[in-house]
Structure 1
Amino acid sequence: MNLILNRAILFFVGLLVFILPIAHTIAVRNISILILIFLTIYILLKNKTIKFNISFTKEIKNILFILIIFTTWLYFIAFFISNETSWTVGEIKSQWITPLSYFITFGLLSVYFSKESKDLQKNFYSLIFLMLFVHVLYVDLYALKYYIQTKSIISRFSGLTEGPDKSNYITNVLLAFLVSEVIYRFRTSKRVLNINNFVLLIIILLTLLSSIFEGMRNGVVAIIFLTISGLFFSFYNNDKYTKKFKFIISFGIFILLTFPAMYNFKNDKRWDTLIQTIPYALDTKTNKNWLNNEKYKRPVLPNGESVETSAYLRIAWGYEGLKLIYENPFGIGYGRNAFSHGLQIKYGDVQKVGHSHSGFIDLAIGIGIPGLIIWLSFGIYLMYVSYTFFMKYNSFYALILFFNVSGFFARFIVDSNMRDHMFQTFMLIIGFSFIFMLKDKYQNEELNNK
């Protein structure tokens, strides 16, 4: 019976992770997560006396406390501050309660798998890794086909997703997994993925290539941050290697991981006009294309060319978003498009403006500065705990947790990633990695006590 149950869980986990980023699959996503929730409830009812080897530790209590406070604040804003209570409650349900259910479900499933066997735990993680890699591989194979047909390199390719930003998010998540694997092998000479170093290197190269084909400037920020933090985790308090060896390896890794960034800087012409665009974007009173692109024309640079659209809009929206935060310090109501709602209330002339392209600004507009502080405390605490657990216990899943949380929050500043499948993927990853990290701690302590 356990074998059938385990296979059923793994099937729907794989299906859900693979299908999440693909457009028009909401029904399949909902069915998959509902089945996983029911299977989780069945496991809990079947094992009433199980302590899961991990009771309510202080780490779990702290995380639950922050999440409860955050959820309470969302509803407080919805019922007592927002002028659009119905819209806000609907957004809380779809954009917070749903991702929260992913976090809880994958956390409880991880408790079950970590108790069943170490091999089953690895299979659970490896399956998630594989489903993400399929997306990356599709990008590379399509780019190869495109090159053969056109003799040119594809850029801003969306893969199986709705946009290159969403495809690039998958790439960065997978890259975080791969860097974690490299660091873990480097420091402990152990492996989690059942592949040799050569195959691991090939997968890393394929993942970096997909980042080039997706052509996202914001992905560059995440890769640079991942590279720097990855080198730190590789060598800090690591006396196994000489300083010369550390320098050579560090330089090699830096060049390898930042190659997509260098390629993007060289080949994406949008970087050329970025500096020139800034003053036009900040003059939001004179240049109003950011507010209504049908009514107002884009500003024109001294050379006669129009400002680069993406940079202009991001800067202008960011600037106006900060003003909305200042004017509404307690927020206007949680929602994906809180920025648009705020502009509509203030100007009433909004055309085709949804989010500000900054999760930081979107969230602060929606739930105010207190809500933003609560959410940031969630990320900071997870990074602190994961850093501590890796340094103390060499926990592989502490690395997974740290890189995914830090990567999400780094991109949170320049992308509206706290929404839809990107946020759901983030929540399920921290759900299983947090529990597996705690399991690593207990296994380490058991070994030391023998």
Structure 2
Amino acid sequence: MTERQLMNVNTLGSGSKIWPVWLFLLVAIYPVPHTIALRNLLLLIGLLGLAWHWRATFQALTTLWRRSTWLTASAWLLVALTVWMVIHALLIAPLPTMALDRVRVDWLMPLLLLATGATVAIRSRNGDALRGLVIALALHIVLVAIFQCWQWLTLGHWPFGVMPFAERDYHSTLNGFLIALLLADRLSLLIAGTAPLNFSAGPAWGLLISALGADVLLRARNGTVVCIVLLIVAVAILLADSRCRKRWGLRIALVVGFAVLLGGMSVRNDVRWQGFSESMVIGIESNNLFWMTGDPNQLPFTPSGNPLEQSAYARAAWARQAVEAIARKPLGIGYGHDAFGRAIAEKYGHAGMGSSHSGWLDIALGIGVPGLALVIALGVVTVAAGWRRFRCLGDGYSLLLALTVSGYFLRCLLDGHFSGWRLALFTLIVGLLIGASAKMKEGK
């Protein structure tokens, strides 16, 4: 890369201190319920800002196109998935107009946020945009801790799982993004000697430890599973590097111990783990319809006589029904997060259900097995490309991308999170990471 080209890339960020502030406000407001109008207003302001400085924006997009060739396979898979959604809506879905509208709202909007995030990252000063993102995510977790502390002073016991707004899975999603970003940042520092988030050592380690500890406060079972898997992946990455094994052996042992502690605290504080396996088996094998009706008279009995763990039972029963619906219509019934509800209404005449609580199953129900295959391939190829780039060039942003995508796709397997604000926020984060990587000096 010539000195002139490098100067042009760096110039894109000059005078753009406002972008991290805009990004902080957008991420801070995005998961708050009933704020769709405010979210859209903030997004519109950002798009107008990019359009106002259209020359710099065009140059940023040109830079992104030229320097993101390592994601070419992912880009083609994304195009193929989008084309399949449109073809499916026009030729396969029983309600084409509804399916097309869902594609517009629930898919094209996240793609817009993907492009916006990448452009903003290039237009911002190095690391500023990502730091704004991390601070906004951390703010939500701090609010949870403060709220629970206030409740503790009022109630006399610590209210694990009680949130200041919305449900705990909202905050668990945010904490999952935060942990993936901070964990990858620390891994990059230990292995490649660079910290992409550009925090000093104390705040960076403090944020990571606090985010891991906050998982206990959230008491979100699937969030804990993803957190532990990410820690195991981090340990595997460190053990695969001979220098890290010798130099950071104690820290690796501490990470393993932390993962065990998180699992133990989750089992201790979340009563839903009790009877988990037994309730799962009943949900898979029983023909009881309690999962649909919620009628107490239809509550299944457990062989052991212990109370049914209704969450595990319902998720297993929903998964079974989803798999059976996919087997009946492997090409899907139309894109949308409520595809499971439509399948149940078609089979049982029972309206009002939504997600199957597995994003993977929701995708297969909506756009069929080919659509699910494209989604999984997109995730796998992106993670592999990010890992290869990190190993070859020491690009910490690509490692952040690999762990963020891995964590989110795993969470989508366990929860119906491949839609709505979660998908939009995920694509925004992915765009920021791709843009930050594109702004790196080549050869580093």
TM-score by length of 1: 0.89
Amino acid at match of 2:204: L
CA contact (8 A) 1:208 1:257 kept: no
Residues 246-293 of structure 1, C-alpha deviation per residue, up to 9 Å, x if partnerless?
4432111122244332201122222121122133212343x1011222
Q: In structure 1, give the amino acid aligned to 2:401.
A: L
Looking at structure 1, the residues matched to 344 and 389 of structure 2 have their Cα atoms a distance apart, in angstroms, of 43
Q: How has the CA–CA distance of structure 1 residues 48 and 438 changed in structure 2, closer, same or farther, with 3 Å as cutoff? A: closer
The RMSD of aligned alpha carbons is 2.4
1:10 is matched with 20
- Of stretches 233-242 and 94-103 in structure 1, the one that deviates more from structure 2 is 233-242
In structure 2, distance between residues paired with 1:215 and 1:98: 31
What corresponds to 2:274 in structure 1?
272
Cα separation, partners in 2 of 1:238 and 1:164, compared to 1, 3 Å = same
State the partner residue of 1:262.
264
Tell me which moved more, 147-156 or 46-55: 46-55
Identity value in percent: 22
Secondary structure (helix, strand or coil) at the match of 1:239 reads: helix
1:143-292 correspondence to structure 2 within 5 Å: 143-160=148-165, 162-239=166-243, 242=246, 245-285=247-287, 287-292=288-293
Greater length-normalized contact order (CA 8 Å, ≥ 6 residues apart): 2
Q: Which residue of 115, 137, 140 maps to 1:104?
A: 115
Distance across 2 between alignment mates of 1:2 and 1:59: 22
Residue 117 of structure 1 corresponds to which residue in structure 2?
none
2:377 maps to which residue?
377
Change (3 A) 1:196 1:258: farther
Deviation at 1:185, TM superposition (A): 2.1
Distance 1:435 1:9, change over 3 A: closer
Whether the 8 Å CA contact 1:357–1:416 is kept in 2: the answer is yes
1:392 aligns with 2:392: yes
Paired residue total = 433
Change (3 A) 1:18 1:439: same
Q: Report the counterpart of residue 6 of structure 2 in structure 1.
A: none
Deviations 1:308-354 (A, max 9, x none): 2111110000011011111111000000100000111122124x421
Name the structure 1 match of 2:316: 315
* 27-36 or 78-87: bigger deviation: 78-87
Counterpart-to-counterpart distance in 2, 1:15 and 1:424: 15
Work out the CA distance in 2 between the residues paired with 1:97 and 1:147: 43
CA distance, structure 1, for counterparts of residue 136 and residue 407 of structure 2: 20
Residues 329-338 or 65-74, more deviating: 65-74
Counterpart residue number, 2:301: 300
Given that 1:223 and 1:258 are in contact with CA atoms closer than 8 Å, whether structure 2 keeps it comes out as no
Give the TM-score taking structure 2 as reference length: 0.90
Shifted more, 82-91 versus 165-174: the winner is 82-91
- In the alignment, structure 1 residue 29 sits paired with structure 2 residue 29: no
| 1:330-385 deviation per Cα after TM superposition (whole angstroms, max 9, x unaligned) | 000000100000111122124x4211110011110000011111111111111011
Per-residue deviation at 1:109?
Answer: 2.1
Say whether residues 1:64 and 2:64 are aligned partners: no
Question: 2:8 maps to which residue?
Answer: none
> For the Cα contact (< 8 Å) 1:390–1:398, is it kept in 2?
yes
| 8 Å CA contact retained: 2:117, 2:435 | no
Return the alpha-carbon distance in structure 1 between the equivalents of residues 251 and 418 of structure 2. Answer: 35
**Is the CA contact 2:358–2:414 (under 8 Å) kept in the aligned structure 1?**
yes
- What letter corresponds to residue 50 of structure 2 in structure 1? T
What residue identity is the alignment partner of 1:141? I
Measured against aligned partners, the alpha-carbon deviations of 1:98-136 in whole angstroms (never above 9, x if no partner) come to 1111001111222333xxxxxx12111111111111001
Query: Do the aligned partners of residues 136 and 2 (structure 1) sit closer, same or farther apart at CA in structure 2, a change above 3 Å counting?
Result: same
Cα 1:170–1:369 shift into 2, 3 Å: same
Please, which runs of 5 or more residues in structure 1 have no aligned partner? 114-119
Q: How far is 1:72 from its partner?
A: 1.3
For the structure 1 residues 283 and 264, does the alpha-carbon distance in structure 2 shift closer, same or farther, using more than 3 Å as the test? same
Per-residue deviation, 1:218: 0.3
Unaligned runs of 5+ in 2: 1-10
Cα contact 1:235–1:246 (8 A) shared by 2: no
